Structure 1
Amino acid sequence: MAAVSGVLPQVPEPRAAVFRTFSKPRPAHARRQAAATKRKCQASSEAPPAKRRSKASFLPAKKTAAKETRRTLKGKAQRTFSPKKPSAGARDGDQERKPGAKTSSLFKNNPEIPELPRPVVKQVQEKVFTSDAFQALDLHPHLISTINTVLKMSSMTSVQKQSIPVLLEGRDALVRSQTGSGKTLAYCIPVVQSLQAMQSKIQRGDGPYALILVPTRELALQSFDTVQKLLKPFTWIVPGVLMGGEKRKSEKARLRKGINILISTPGRLVDHIKSTKNIHFRQIRWLILDEADRILDLGFEKDLTVILNAVNAECQERQNVLLSATLTEGVARLADISLHDPVSISVLDESHDVSSPESEAFLEASPPQATDELDGFAIPAGLQQHVVVVPSKLRLVCLAAFILQKCKFERDQKVIVFFSSCELVEFHYTLFLQTLLSGSGALAPEHLPSTSTPLKFLRLHSALEQEERTAVFQDFTHSKTGILFCTDIAARGLDLPQVTWIVQYNAPSSPAEYIHRIGRTARIGCHGSSLLVLAPSEAEYVNSLASHKINVSEVKMEDILSVLTKDECFKGRRGGGQKSRAAGPQEIRERATVLQTLFEDYVHSSEETVSGAKKALQSFIRAYATYPRELKHIFHIRLLHLGHMAKSFGLRDAPKNLCASAMKKKKANLKRPDLQRKKTQSKQRLAEILRSEYASGMETGGTKIT
């Protein structure tokens, strides 16, 4: 036993010794491979059962990560860290339309909507119609019959009752009345009455007896139409219109034949004064400046000076009339120059009446701003004014929802939407035309509710050719329904019948401009409504309006967006079979996201549409920078969130270097304060034209003349 035990320990030693002596050292890569094999064996010994492992292996990566997150953070705030389910709109847009695109949430990181101030305001209102009939005036029977049958008017408005007798007496007048109160007929009726009553019958070749100046082409066409109707019984009196966009050759031919009542825009008339030899003013009996405040705002002072000098050189004795909805310093100055011993007619409420000639001294002594603050602006009695505060990201969706609510689910609605520039009009017109009508199939006919009416979009701005402008103006005038996207070119004087809603998508630059915009509805005693869209940082603008006795009531954004629940084509996938379920805030948000995804998919469908959206955003920022100094604390470019604003143009990210050129120009101006002082006045005029986008009389380069 001892021998055996002595032999046994000696057996492994020589083998071990041989191994240590003759085996070569293993290389490094072999050691690493052995270590990896060892770790793999350890992992396999600790692996879960095959059934669990196979089930986990088929889970998507996101779900596996989500479960691990919940497992790790168990007991903590799972609501904060658990991954959110994508909204219906994002899911539809990402998976169906653009698999690689992502629509960020519309309802995250928005500024809080502040409580709007509610100042107590007593609005100044004007009683539009009176009980007096036109038969009470000393007018030609055929003229009265035409007013009753063709124009379908039997009783006079307040401004007509006060103005017509004064003008028939041959007095100069400064007429101030609310927009939509019948000022055009207030001067057209006396002009026609006086010309048809002249002892020596008017001949066409005599030239113009009456000259009517208006600021825009559309207002020129409208005034011409009114005069033409009044002249039906008096065929020997020939009216005519001169305006930009028409062929000068044909206008010169009409001037050679003869025009007795000449209606023109200032720039075009100056062009003919300088280039047309056969235009003369020897027979002028009437000189009328309609919408005089806007003519001056557009920088037509020099043109007016040329026209007044040309008329004064050939005819001294004439009757002059200035008409305006607002009384400004420029209008008062123009009245001093052109009117002689005028009667001031100011129709603001029932207590106002035709003032005596001494009122001219009142206009001279009192600053016009003070009278505006004292009297406020006259608001039509049938007009309801509203305001809605909308975060920048939701502006586009909110506008679309409002249009759908009014024009798709309600009958006989005509809506005008005001923008601050031509580019904005073009962008929104094209976007809504391609998405809400036919482009994306969002509102396919099979999904339209039986109660809905088809949408009709139109646009009007100064960059359009004159033929298209005239066609759009006539189309919207004679339509019972429709949505007109326009600049402030349509804010002055235009009588667009049966307009039910005015939407101011971009806030106006002054309370006077606000009044002129809303004056396109509730005209001549009718009813209408207006909606002003403001950002949370612009809520203070309500107080600015209240200081001019303009009262607005608030509408909640959620109430506007809730209309999307009526339209099944904006339903997300989760809403499949729950038609009877009451719409809650979450469903409204989902549907708003679906609509926003629709817009973004169209904008990002091509480089051209992306470029158009960027240009529109740039145009918005340029216009935003032109608000007057007294409103800069409300509308300042530094208060804009460019990322959120980009969302309202269907862009998923804010474009880079958007304001680089503007900043360079600003720095250059800071280095030259002397140059800045010299150009202040001209810059203010250019800024006003940029915001209002009227077709000016003499554009840069002289290519177009209004």
Structure 2
Amino acid sequence: MGRGNKRRRPKSQLWRPEAEEISELERRIKEESPKRGWHPDESQEAPAFSSLPISERTLRGLEAGGFETMKPIQHATIPHALAGRDVLGAARTGSGKTIAFLVPLLEALFRERCVARVRDNGRWSPEDGLGALVLSPTRELAMQIFEVVRVVGAMHDLSAGLVTGGARDVAHEKARIGRMCVVVATPGRCLQHLEESPGFDASHAKILVVDEADRVVDMGFAPQLDAVVTYLKNPERQTLLFSATLAGSSSVVASRKDLKVSPKIAQLRKLVKPSVEFLVARTDRQVVRSGAPAAPTPGGLEQRYVVCELDEKLDVLYSFIKAHLRAKTIVFVSACAQARFVLEALRGMQPGVPLLALHGKLNQKKRAAVYYDFSSKPHAVLLATDVAARGLDFPKVDWVVQLDAPEDADAYVHRAGRAARNDASGDALLVLLPSEEPRVTDLLATARVPVKRLAVNPERRRFTTLGHITALVASRPDVKELAQKAFRSYVRSVVLASDKRAFRVRDLDLDKFAASLGLASTPAIKLPEPDQAVAVRAETHAKKNANRKLAKLKAQIKEAKAAKRSPPPPKPAETDDDDDDDDDDLLVAAERRRDEEIEEVEELVAPATQKRKAPPKLKIRDGVDAKVLGKRTVFGDDGGPALPNLGDKLAAAAASERPVDSSSLKASHDDFVARVRDRLRQSAAADRDHERRARRERKRAKLLPKEEEEEEDEGDRDVGAFLASPPQ
């Protein structure tokens, strides 16, 4: 027998092995789930993933990705998350938080989907909409999470999609996002699809994950996240929040009431799920026995800082790059314009190492290309803003240089955490101004960040960049514009900084700073008042995160509704004809043309009583024929003269030196108008019939080819039906 005649097994038998596996997993989860507040002993080695009650498919995916042994954050959170509890997890950068929330996510969807298929009437299936939503504050971090989903979830029969801002083909996303079980997205683009994509149903979503949760609030995404949560209507939804800087408490594990979280996390927790207490797991591998937690930065990271003047920063950076040509370095600056300008300046000096830039002004395609290019190079320098400071896992980064001081300790931790990831070693260098040193070092000491001061070697600073940058700015107008933007962006970032004790504009020598950028004069800049800095900062974030396309669409819908509410234009008078609307429109147009003809004739032979310029009086000279002078004839539609020859009358009147009688002209005018109206009234019926026949002929000519094609198709269908029917 062929394959087409093979008997299919019912769905209940087809998925029987998965159903048995799920029953066993649910039994183990119920028996092995830890109590609330449980935390693993840091003195013991972390067990393997195979010791967890997870499916064989997930274990095979973890093995393919090289994940065999759990890390502390994974060992502390995965057992609680498998039990369906809400988790608020904090761990140092590069500690494996992505796997900590992806494993419970895949397992929850695997159990729910297979049970639904076995029952054949389950509440959720891949065709019923979204199953899990993962939100990330940056596009690059979303891309990285999606890549891990593809590796760890490769053995699962689940569809996944990546949706971030900057993509041009939104219609392509709208057509496919409704079929995705797992969606990794940025908050703004996710909200856009929830509002605009009809097939994107998130009402049955089982899990919500927010990675780098504090950054979501800090970047101004709180309104978008609040709107996204309104679409997640599943009362049994599980929520997982992860970040490296969630809390400042010294407790390792605490309940919601005991933990002192930052205001950002308190705000975020109210947005996502205010009525449920989170299990909070804060893990550090190097917990001191006295109970004080270790540093939030990786243990293998050597951290130093140097102090220099603002106009010397580029010299320090160039000297550092020349001294570390065989290293992989990330240089953080405070604004996109600075990254663009420093890139152009260093390219002209040709330091001998590949130079790249990653910032928010690049489109999504270029940002992805830079991310993968830098990840693949053994030695390179990446100039980046804080868009690359959160969660991105660049392999084998040797140095992290913070050319501009971070706003707070959390920003420093995330920047420095790009190096020494996954228990590797690395170095971090912070460049501070003399006015910034006291306050920033106090903040880092309070956050338990072990940073040491390093003196700059004068032998390394023999080369100055001022001459080259000045010549470059003078010769290239585009670089000069970038220098001006870099100047304004840096000063603006200092004004809008949250910590006014560390960052003060009055401590900066702006003239020297402008000269170090190659500018002949200090650019003018309009700065907000100090008391308005917070409002301006919030307004900037709101404008940056606003969905302009959605706002434009809403404005168009509003205009359309207003147009519908306005009174419609008056309709033309209805006729008694039973023909179609096109014929009625044509007859109305014909009547309008006849009225226009009458108006033209009336204007042509306007009576003398109207206020018109009177024609000049003509006088006939002796010996001149009056019939030749001023002769004018008006012809009618029948080819004959429509009016008496006015030229003859004028000539005769001029010959007799008497003016033309206005009453006779008015009588002639009225007589002509009456005759034209009568003629048009008599020919109206014939004109309608003629126009109607012409219209029908044109319609028939257009429809004739389609009718012939339909007849041919019907003939083909009849033949196919005849061949497919059984013999009588």
Structure 1 residue 136 and structure 2 residue 51: aligned? yes
Deviations 1:26-57 (A, max 9, x none): xxxxxxxxxxxxxxxxxxxxxxxxxxxxxxxx
- 1 CA distance for matches of 2:363 and 2:279? 40
Deviations 1:601-650 (A, max 9, x none): 2222233332321221111111111122xx32332101111122123313
Per-residue deviation at 1:686? 4.3
Task: Please tell me the residue identity of whatever aligns with 1:342.
Answer: F
Cα distance 1:618–1:341, how it changes in 2: closer, same or farther (>3 A)? closer
- 1 CA distance for matches of 2:354 and 2:379? 7
- 2 CA distance for matches of 1:216 and 1:703? 24
How do 1:437-448 and structure 2 match up within 5 A? none
- 2 CA distance for matches of 1:426 and 1:703? 31
- 2 CA distance for matches of 1:196 and 1:434? 54
Per-residue deviation at 1:300? 1.4
Select which of 275, 288, 298 maps to 2:209.
288
Task: Please tell me the residue identity of whatever aligns with 2:514.
Answer: A
Structure 1 residue 228 and structure 2 residue 146: aligned? no
- 2 CA distance for matches of 1:189 and 1:352? 29
Select which of 318, 322, 331 maps to 2:241.
322
- 2 CA distance for matches of 1:538 and 1:687? 25
Task: Please tell me the residue identity of whatever aligns with 2:269.
Answer: A
Does the aligned pair in 2 maintain the 1:298–1:685 contact within 8 Å? no
How do 1:17-36 and structure 2 match up within 5 A? none
Per-residue deviation at 1:231? 1.6
Task: Please tell me the residue identity of whatever aligns with 2:301.
Answer: L
Task: Please tell me the residue identity of whatever aligns with 2:141.
Answer: L
Task: Please tell me the residue identity of whatever aligns with 2:538.
Answer: R
Structure 1 residue 616 and structure 2 residue 486: aligned? yes
Does the aligned pair in 1 maintain the 2:225–2:271 contact within 8 Å? no
Task: Please tell me the residue identity of whatever aligns with 2:481.
Answer: S
Select which of 472, 478, 488 maps to 2:370.
472
Bigger Cα Rg: 2
How do 1:354-433 and structure 2 match up within 5 A? 378-406=296-324, 408=325, 411=326, 413-433=327-347
Corresponding residue number in structure 1 for 2:450: 551
SS in 2 for 1:632: coil
SS in 2 for 1:152: coil
Corresponding residue number in structure 2 for 1:486: 384
Task: Please tell me the residue identity of whatever aligns with 1:479.
Answer: K
Deviations 1:204-248 (A, max 9, x none): 4232111111111111111111111112112x2001111111121
Per-residue deviation at 1:141? 2.8
Corresponding residue number in structure 2 for 1:584: none
Per-residue deviation at 1:134? 1.2
Per-residue deviation at 1:456? 0.7
SS in 2 for 1:262: strand
Structure 1 residue 214 and structure 2 residue 136: aligned? yes
Per-residue deviation at 1:417? 0.6
Corresponding residue number in structure 1 for 2:429: 531
- 1 CA distance for matches of 2:409 and 2:294? 10
Task: Please tell me the residue identity of whatever aligns with 1:526.
Answer: A
Gaps of 5+ in 1: 1-125, 354-370, 438-453, 563-587, 670-675
**Per chain length, whose mean CA-contact separation is higher, i.e. which structure has more relative contact order (CA < 8 Å, sep 6+)?**
1
Does the aligned pair in 2 maintain the 1:130–1:158 contact within 8 Å? no
C-alpha root-mean-square deviation of aligned residues, in Å? 2.8
Corresponding residue number in structure 2 for 1:154: 68
Select which of 174, 182, 187 maps to 1:261.
182
Corresponding residue number in structure 1 for 2:116: 200
SS in 1 for 2:302: strand
- 2 CA distance for matches of 1:520 and 1:683? 30
Does the aligned pair in 1 maintain the 2:226–2:271 contact within 8 Å? no
Corresponding residue number in structure 1 for 2:415: 517
Select which of 228, 242, 251 maps to 2:163.
242
Does the aligned pair in 1 maintain the 2:162–2:185 contact within 8 Å? yes
Per-residue deviation at 1:130? 4.3
Does the aligned pair in 2 maintain the 1:128–1:524 contact within 8 Å? no
Select which of 626, 632, 657 maps to 2:500.
632
Structure 1 residue 685 and structure 2 residue 546: aligned? no
Corresponding residue number in structure 2 for 1:16: none
- 1 CA distance for matches of 2:101 and 2:297? 22
SS in 2 for 1:556: coil
- 1 CA distance for matches of 2:245 and 2:43? 17
Does the aligned pair in 1 maintain the 2:136–2:216 contact within 8 Å? yes
Per-residue deviation at 1:687? 6.1
- 2 CA distance for matches of 1:655 and 1:289? 43
Structure 1 residue 643 and structure 2 residue 511: aligned? yes
Structure 1 residue 304 and structure 2 residue 216: aligned? no
Per-residue deviation at 1:334? 2.7
Per-residue deviation at 1:379? 1.8
Does the aligned pair in 2 maintain the 1:266–1:697 contact within 8 Å? no
Corresponding residue number in structure 1 for 2:699: none
Deviations 1:283-340 (A, max 9, x none): 311111111101111111111111111112xx21121111122222121233245342
Per-residue deviation at 1:194? 2.3
SS in 2 for 1:131: coil
Q: TM-score, normalised by structure 1?
A: 0.65
- 2 CA distance for matches of 1:215 and 1:397? 33
Gaps of 5+ in 2: 1-40, 118-123, 247-261, 555-728
Corresponding residue number in structure 1 for 2:269: 335
How do 1:44-83 and structure 2 match up within 5 A? none
Does the aligned pair in 1 maintain the 2:408–2:443 contact within 8 Å? no
Task: Please tell me the residue identity of whatever aligns with 1:280.
Answer: D
Cα distance 1:432–1:276, how it changes in 2: closer, same or farther (>3 A)? same
Per-residue deviation at 1:177? 1.3
Does the aligned pair in 2 maintain the 1:286–1:319 contact within 8 Å? yes
Per-residue deviation at 1:128? 12
- 2 CA distance for matches of 1:323 and 1:436? 41
Deviations 1:414-464 (A, max 9, x none): 111111111001001111112226xxxxxxxxxxxxxxxx41111111111
Task: Please tell me the residue identity of whatever aligns with 2:545.
Answer: S
SS in 1 for 2:226: helix
Per-residue deviation at 1:389? 0.8
- 2 CA distance for matches of 1:551 and 1:310? 44
Q: TM-score, normalised by structure 2?
A: 0.63
- 1 CA distance for matches of 2:333 and 2:411? 12
Corresponding residue number in structure 1 for 2:545: 696
SS in 2 for 1:379: coil
Cα distance 1:687–1:556, how it changes in 2: closer, same or farther (>3 A)? farther
Query: Which 10-residue stretch deviates more, 288-297 or 541-550?
Result: 541-550
Deviations 1:663-697 (A, max 9, x none): xx53xx9xxxxxx6xx775434246789xxxx635
Does the aligned pair in 2 maintain the 1:491–1:520 contact within 8 Å? yes
SS in 1 for 2:329: strand
Per-residue deviation at 1:382? 0.3
Corresponding residue number in structure 1 for 2:648: none
- 2 CA distance for matches of 1:213 and 1:547? 30
